[in-house]
Amino acid sequence: MIEAIYDTGVRLIEYERRKFYENVKKKAIVYIQRLVRKFLKRRRAYHKRKLQLKLEQIKVEMEIKMEEARIEKGLFTLTH
């Protein structure tokens, strides 16, 4: 009788322990997923800003080249 009660108690404790660690595992998975999403969101924003800066730089370079070409063409027409 005492052994049966002891075995039942051990089984209940093991069940509760397993249940507790499963909950901890689920919470850890959710936390890691949140961190990954946050990281990917920041990375996308960083790369988007980096590409915007690169595009602005290319735009400025093109405007400079267009201005140089316009000046060259203007000087060419004045000399001939």
The pLDDT of residue 77: 65
- pTM equals 0.57
Q: Alpha-carbon distance 41 to 33, whole Å? A: 12
Q: Which amino acid is present at 78? A: L
Rounded Cα gap, residues 23 and 10, in angstroms? 20
Per-position DSSP letters for 60-80, written without gaps between them: HHHHHHHHHHHHHHHHHHHH-
How many helices and strands in the chain, by DSSP H and E?
1, 0
The pLDDT tens digits for 23-78 are 999 999 999 999 999 999 999 999 999 999 999 999 999 999 998 888 888 776 66
